[in-house]
Amino acid sequence: MGRSVERPLFYMTLANRLLEGLPKQALAPLIDRRLGQLAATKYHSALSAYAADPAAFIHDCVDFPAGEHPTPYQTEVLERLPVEKRIAIRAPHSAGKTALAAWLTLWGVLTAPDVKVVTTASAWRQLTRFLWPEIHKWARRLRWARLGRGPFSQDEALDLNLKLGTTQQAFAAASNNAAFIEGAQAQRIIYIFDEAKAIPPETWDAAEGAFAGAGSDTAKEAYALAISTPGEPAGRFYDIHSHKPGYEDWWTRHVTLEEAVAAGRVSAEWAEQRKAQWGEGSAVYQNRVEGEFAASDSSTVVIPLAWVERANDRWRAWRDEGAKLGRQTALGVDVGRGGNLTVVAPRHGNIVPDLHRSQVADTMHVVGQVRLYRQGSRVVVDVVGIGAGVVDRLREVGIPVVGFNAGARTGATDRSGELNFVNLRSAGWWNLRELLDPAIGADLALPPDDRLTGDLTAPIWKVNSSGKIEVEGKDEIAKRIGRSTDDGDAVMMAFTTPEMLSEEELDALAKTTPSRFTSSVEGGRWGRGEKRGWHE
Ligand SMILES: Nc1ncnc2c1ncn2[C@@H]1O[C@H](COP(=O)(O)OP(=O)(O)O)[C@@H](O)[C@H]1O
Ligand SMILES: [Mg+2]
């Protein structure tokens, strides 16, 4: 590849030589015009050389960092695309999916005279934060000389756009804008679906229009690349991978963890750590590490992974908007027992900015941690074991504290008002579940932290024989997954509501709550707690 591009360069050099010594001023316009023509010729011959061969384009025209090159599975996709037209890849996190999408975008826009590359993703953020920066990253590594043109100008390369004149364009489109996606017209259309697992069906259907007019018997070309870490076994991305009737036109590929590790893209150590953290059978491990579809069934898991991921997206958005925090409203404290860490989770309204973990297990140290991170907020402490001493000591020094006794009875009900809970722990976890449920309109923001994510998605639940919701006990979980879900419990406790607590617990809290907090009016959702100084 690339041999046909050398000739115009030769002529340009020759033309320069011949013109040497002649009155430059008179000849300048002539020279400019000729050089322009030659450069155009060179560009177009480069174009045609690579137009049907993305693998050669990436191989020849991308300057990879030392020791790096396309992985075998990336090359396979590049080679298959011209033949298969529609390709769907599921792969582990960090396997190189978005890089592949970026390469195809560059190939697509540079090697055809009339082209539109439409990039979309489940979340707009995926385009602005990952795919488009990745496109610009690889654009900086293009061997422009091979392409017979200079680097993209400022007008050509925008944040979410490549515009090479009016006929060669790549752009970002929101995945809920099917009409816009359907409207793209060009001789060559390429659809890039990044993190495709949650792209709505209308968007997939909108792309199909382009395929109807394309084929070996027409002058039009259409391609689609859908890539994702898989999620629940549901939705179009899943239907395509499971070859449901109607999706036979897609060529699918599962990039395995072994392949990604062998190619040096995924660290075996990272995979092992996730296995220890999440458990091999967990949906989160299957999805993100093995690149397989797996259900975190919301009827048994208290909090599905997808809900935590949304809370993480809100946290990132909050951070990107300047990480502004209001007053700290609560501090959840899970006291380390039997060698586990003590975890402190500060909460500012609906935001948990970060967790603080420490290897401390005696009363005074935990009290020290509480003083360090309390910031004037109420404190909710796991009261079992040495937690009891912590609660006593905090009350003694006048810090408003709730002793969270996981096994205590509770009068709280679920959102429907119909289901009661076996104990306080179940009510606490269920409350967190409802706060994260997108169907209810969740706005909690939680830090993207692998351990916390593993903890939040660990507990399972059932309705017990007396019709109450029972969330798996902490010790049962520890037996099942081999570790203690301290991070998850600290966050859960930070969201304790007055409705969950007994009158005695609320009274004890009121006694240590400064009077300036206790004057608020009765009523509202938190009426029961407001008069006791409960503030959200
Ligand atoms: N073949 C490759 N050679 C060099 N770097 C690569 C290659 N494939 C991916 N990368 C880089 O590795 C990182 C992770 O890849 P990415 O495509 O974002 O993974 P994924 O989308 O599968 O999670 C990115 O910085 C990307 O540029
Ligand atoms: Mg990616």
What residues line ligand 1, using a CB cutoff of 6 Å? 64, 68, 70-71, 74, 91, 93-99, 134, 265
Per the model's pLDDT, the better-predicted residue between 343 and 462 turns out to be: 343
pLDDT on residue 530? 52
- Which of 3.60.10.10, 3.30.420.240, 3.30.465.10, 3.30.365.10 would CATH assign to domain 305-530? 3.30.420.240
Residue-wise pLDDT tens digits, 267-304: 999 999 888 766 687 777 899 999 999 876 555 789 98
pLDDT on residue 532? 59
User: What is the residue type of 247?
Assistant: Y
Average pLDDT over residues 329-358: 94
Cα–Cα distance list, 518 to 330, 399, 505, 514 (Å): 16, 14, 16, 7
pLDDT on residue 40? 58
Average pLDDT over residues 524-531: 44
Nearest residue by C-alpha to atom 18 in ligand 1: 98
For 203, residues 6+ apart whose C-beta sits below 8 A from its C-beta are 120, 175, 176, 177, 178, 181, 193
Residue of 62, 94, 257, 287 best suited for mutating to test ligand 1, as the one with most atoms within 8 Å of CB: 94
Atom of ligand 1 nearest to the CA of 137: 27
Closest CA relative to residue 452, chosen from 344, 530, 327: 344
Q: Give backbone dihedrals phi and psi of 138, rounded to 5 degrees, phi first.
A: -75, -25
pLDDT band at 386 (very low <50, low <70, confident <90, very high): confident
**Integer Cα distance of 90 and 199 in angstroms:** 14
pLDDT on residue 232? 86
Residue-wise pLDDT tens digits, 134-190: 999 999 999 999 888 999 999 999 999 999 999 999 999 999 999 999 988 999 999
The secondary structure of residue 340, as a DSSP letter, is P
Per CATH, the number for 54-262 is 3.40.50.300
Q: Does residue 2 carry a pLDDT above 50?
A: no
Is 460 in a helix, a strand, or coil?
A: strand
pLDDT on residue 27? 60
Q: How far is CA 68 from the centre of its chain?
A: 25
Atom of ligand 1 nearest to the CA of 93: 23
Nearest residue by C-alpha to atom 2 in ligand 1: 70
Q: Which two tokens stand for residue 529?
A: 């707690």
Q: Which ranges constitute the DSSP H helices of 350-485? A: 363-373, 387-396, 424-436, 450-456, 474-481
Residue-wise over 68-77: b if at least 16 C-beta within 10 A, else e?
Answer: eebbebbbbb
Tell me which ligand sits closest to the C-alpha of residue 102.
1
Q: Does residue 10 carry a pLDDT above 70?
A: no
Average pLDDT over residues 197-226: 91
**Max alpha carbon distance in the chain (Å)?**
101
CA dihedral 481, 487, 488, 493 (to 10 degrees): 140
Per the model's pLDDT, the better-predicted residue between 194 and 28 turns out to be: 194
Tell me which ligand sits closest to the C-alpha of residue 122.
2
Tell me which ligand sits closest to the C-alpha of residue 96.
1
Is 262 in a helix, a strand, or coil?
A: helix
**Integer Cα distance of 492 and 502 in angstroms:** 18
Q: Which two tokens stand for residue 37?
A: 């023509």
Cα–Cα distance list, 529 to 27, 265, 524 (Å): 88, 52, 10
pLDDT on residue 385? 84
pLDDT on residue 498? 94
pLDDT band at 470 (very low <50, low <70, confident <90, very high): very high
Count of CA atoms in the C-beta half-sphere (13 A) of 237: 29
**Integer Cα distance of 407 and 158 in angstroms:** 57
Per the model's pLDDT, the better-predicted residue between 219 and 351 turns out to be: 351
pLDDT on residue 39? 57
Q: Which two tokens stand for residue 198?
A: 């949650």
